Amino acid sequence: MQIGGRALKEIDGALSAEGIRVGLVVSRFNELVTERLLEGALGYLRRAGADPDDLTVVRVPGSFEIPQAARRLAESGRCDAVVCLGTLIKGETDHYDYLASTVTSAIARVGLESGLPVSYGVLTAATSRQALERAGIKHGNKGVEAAQAAIEMVHVFRNLKSEI
């Protein structure tokens, strides 16, 4: 890209997972959906060249526990990125709204405080069908997208470090 005839410095990421250590935190609650998200994320990482020894899957009871495990992974020094996978389905009470807001904020905070790429693959859906559609049935697989984002951000961070 150029402005005024001068080239701008651009820092970009890549999608190769070779040599990148990834922690994946997945909720057991709504397991029919979260297992599809995990399968999508792991499938992408394998295709992108990840070594199975560089992948760690941590299972937690529900979406509320995802940020806690993500923080431990980030603090461990054993991961270059953390992928958070879960599903929240709206019910008849306000519980969904509080949980979605809290989990989203806490996952973002883990990334900001740890300095590691922490990607968000927590579905917030109105119905179980909608969640399944976003887990690979109809509208792509958000687990794949979360894994891609994590890998790309690892490369962006590495490139930023070498440029700054």
Q: What are the pLDDT digits (tens) for 145-155?
A: 999 999 999 99
State pTM to two decimals: 0.94
> For residue 8, what are its two tokens?
């701008």
Rounded mean pLDDT of the chain? 94
Q: Could you give phi then psi for residue 75, rounded to 5 degrees?
A: -75, -20
Calpha distance 79→29 (Å, rounded): 24
Segment 39-47 shows an average pLDDT of 98
What are the start-end ranges of the H helices in 82-164?
95-114, 128-134, 142-163
- Distance between CA atoms of residues 146 and 164, nearest Å: 26
Is 155 one of the annotated active-site residues of the chain?
Answer: no
Residue 138 has pLDDT above 80, yes or no: no
- Specify the higher pLDDT residue, 82 or 91: 82
Catalytic residue among 46, 47, 78, 95: 95
